[in-house]
A and B are shown apart, each in its own frame.
Chain A
Amino acid sequence: MSEQLPQELQYTKSHEWVRSLPNGQVEVGITDHAQSALGDLVFVEVPQVGRTLAAGEACAVVESVKAASDVYSPVAGRVVARNEELAQKPELLNSDPYGAGWLMRIELDAKTPAALLRPSEYEQFLKESE
């Protein structure tokens, strides 16, 4: 857990990360802290492409052997892609949470700016909630 957080990402207090893509869309996943707390992931349900999401809306479910957990959309927008590989390989969330374990890509709703945490702020939040 002492590993450095990826500095190019933004975070939420519900343990999602957001990556800004060159085309203006964002990619969303769950953090290393989240996957570690859940344990071995065995089932992932990601939203349909085309679905419109509000910021903070429960939009995906990740289930480990131990527990099911909701994933909340960090931003408002429309789902433009989802990681189809997770249906067969949910363990990608454990092995590569910031890479191959991404959940979905969202086209931002420009009208609602997102309130996200910088890496240092998320790190501080993790320390405080320990």
Chain B
Amino acid sequence: MGLKTPLYDTHVSAHAKIIDFGGWDMPLSYGSQIEEHHAVRRDAGLFDVSHMCVIDLTGTRTREFLRHLLANDVARLAVPGRALYSCMLLPTGGVIDDLIVYFLTESWFRLVVNAGTRQRDLAWIREHAAAFGVAVRERSDLAILAVQGPNARDKTATLLSAAHRGTALGLDRFSAAAIDSWFLARTGYTGEDGFEIMLPGAEAAETWRALVAQGARPAGLGARDTLRLEAGMNLYGNDMDETRHPLESGLAWTVAFEPQGRDFIGREALVRARGDGGPQLVGLVLGERGVLRSHQAVSAAAADGSAGEPLGEVTSGTFSPTLNRAIALARLEPQPGARVLVDIRGKPHAARIVKPPFVRNGKPLVEIQ
């Protein structure tokens, strides 16, 4: 028996297949995960992501604390409501977690971290917050619904009063606003437009039903994984962890080395690692039918077409419902060609290196040959 979100009974009534995810009993799908995937790309899907952990940080030195704690620089958050994606690092540069930080007021920032790393994150944050006099409060009273897809924002706005509708639809990407009991953010993990709604757990089931009545289709963690992988977004624990730093996890863009005077945890290690020619996270598209899976070995193609020098392995692989092809993220040693071989059940299969994302806003971004 795992932890349950306020929507657990709603999922069971909808005949969801329930699986364990980071200690939580969560819906994998409500029937066909591929149809759920397409609903998000074409219309609107609805996810329960209440297992994710909301942490409020308060105190006059909160911004200063976060500029030390996070590899990205919250100095970039100038307007209240703005959000930033960042890694939280060990001094070795290894990734403790990836998270979103929202700037609410100068003495109140909000973090959303992964479910599986919750305890580790809270302990780490508390340990470092003390010196800055920052209070750390886990908001387990909040549920989170993600409404994602080209029509997700319109469907969500119909639930609001006319006065609030304009605020909701006027939000910039990667921005949030408090609307009555909701904290409404224009963020997500699918590569589509949409909202993430943080709200009191007691209101979650009613809001869920209202969104379903507007035509948002319930979607489970299965579709969430194929959507995020098509969008080229990393999954903590697969694509990075405490043994891997952001520069070898496709996340160099989230590390703010400037200004040089900012002393964030992990900085020294990353400065040393920069430009060392180490492995990189790349995208792969399989040339034929089949499915890419994490931990499959990737090698260079020898002149005779057989598997040559080992290059690394797949970190996340799946079948892309949008492209109708297997896609993956893989951590590979630098090599000149775009053609590699992936070992699938003992046989080499040709794959092509591409730059993620594979799909954004319903459109394929890689060519299928």
A contact residues vs B (CB 8 Å cutoff): 39-40, 42-43, 61, 63, 65-66, 68, 87, 94
Please give, as numbers and ranges, the residues of chain B lying within 8 Å of A87 by CB-CB distance. Answer: 289
Known contacts A40-B33, A43-B289, A43-B290; A65 and B345 CB within 8 A of each other: no
Pair B33/A61 contact, Cβ less than 8 Å: no
Chain A CB within 8 A of B86 CB:
no
Please give, as numbers and ranges, the residues of chain B lying within 8 Å of A63 by CB-CB distance. Answer: 290-291, 319
Please give, as numbers and ranges, the residues of chain A lying within 8 Å of B290 by CB-CB distance. Answer: 43, 63
Please give, as numbers and ranges, the residues of chain B lying within 8 Å of A42 by CB-CB distance. Answer: 34, 291, 319
Docked CA distance A61–B291 (Å): 11
Pair B289/A66 contact, Cβ less than 8 Å: no
Pair B319/A39 contact, Cβ less than 8 Å: no
8 A–B contacts from the bound complex (CB under 8 Å): A39-B17, A39-B28, A39-B29, A39-B32, A43-B319, A63-B319, A65-B318, A68-B291
Pair B33/A43 contact, Cβ less than 8 Å: no
* Distance between B228 CB and nearest chain A CB, rounded to angstroms: 13
Q: Mark B219-252, 1 if CB is under 8 A from A, else 0.
A: 0001000100000000000000000000000000
Q: Which A residue's beta carbon lies closest to that of B17?
A: A39
Please give, as numbers and ranges, the residues of chain A lying within 8 Å of B34 by CB-CB distance. Answer: 40, 42, 65
- In the A-B complex, the 4 residue pairs with the smallest Cβ-Cβ separation, listed nearest first, are A42-B319, A40-B34, A63-B291, A65-B319
Q: Which A residue's beta carbon lies closest to that of B34?
A: A40
Q: Which B residue's beta carbon lies closest to that of A95?
A: B32
* Distance between B345 CB and nearest chain A CB, rounded to angstroms: 7
Pair B222/A39 contact, Cβ less than 8 Å: yes
Q: Which A residue's beta carbon lies closest to that of B225?
A: A65
Chain A CB within 8 A of B51 CB:
no
Please give, as numbers and ranges, the residues of chain B lying within 8 Å of A43 by CB-CB distance. Answer: 289-291, 319
Docked CA distance A66–B222 (Å): 8
B contact residues vs A (CB 8 Å cutoff): 17, 28-29, 32-34, 222, 226, 289-291, 293, 318-319, 321, 345
Q: What number of A-B contacts does a CB cutoff of 8 Å give?
A: 36
Given contacts A63-B290, A65-B33, could you give 8 more A-B pairs where the C-beta distance is less than 8 Å? A40-B32, A42-B319, A63-B291, A65-B291, A65-B318, A66-B33, A66-B222, A87-B289
Docked CA distance A65–B325 (Å): 11
Please give, as numbers and ranges, the residues of chain A lying within 8 Å of B321 by CB-CB distance. Answer: 65
A contact patch SS = mixed
Give the residue of B17, B222, B289 whose beta carbon is less than 8 angstroms from that of A65: B222
* Distance between B28 CB and nearest chain A CB, rounded to angstroms: 8
Q: Most A CB atoms within 10 A — which of B17, B34, B293?
A: B34
* Distance between A77 CB and nearest chain B CB, rounded to angstroms: 24
Please give, as numbers and ranges, the residues of chain B lying within 8 Å of A40 by CB-CB distance. Answer: 32-34
Q: Which A residue's beta carbon lies closest to that of B19?
A: A66
Please give, as numbers and ranges, the residues of chain A lying within 8 Å of B222 by CB-CB distance. Answer: 39, 65-66
Give the residue of A39, A61, A68, A94 whose beta carbon is less than 8 angstroms from that of B293: A68
Q: Which B residue's beta carbon lies closest to that of A87?
A: B289
Give the residue of A39, A61, A66, A94 whose beta carbon is less than 8 angstroms from that of B345: A61
Q: Most B CB atoms within 10 A — which of A40, A43, A87?
A: A40
Please give, as numbers and ranges, the residues of chain A lying within 8 Å of B28 by CB-CB distance. Answer: 39, 66
Q: Which B residue's beta carbon lies closest to that of A88?
A: B289
Q: Which A residue's beta carbon lies closest to that of B32?
A: A40
Q: Which B residue's beta carbon lies closest to that of A44?
A: B289
Docked CA distance A130–B165 (Å): 48
Please give, as numbers and ranges, the residues of chain B lying within 8 Å of A66 by CB-CB distance. Answer: 28, 33, 222
Please give, as numbers and ranges, the residues of chain A lying within 8 Å of B293 by CB-CB distance. Answer: 68
Docked CA distance A29–B226 (Å): 27
Docked CA distance A66–B293 (Å): 9
Docked CA distance A40–B28 (Å): 12
Docked CA distance A42–B222 (Å): 14
Q: Most A CB atoms within 10 A — which of B28, B32, B291, B318?
A: B291
Docked CA distance A61–B293 (Å): 14
Docked CA distance A87–B289 (Å): 8
Docked CA distance A69–B28 (Å): 18
Docked CA distance A80–B17 (Å): 37
Pair A39/B289 contact, Cβ less than 8 Å: no
Please give, as numbers and ranges, the residues of chain B lying within 8 Å of A65 by CB-CB distance. Answer: 33-34, 222, 226, 291, 318-319, 321
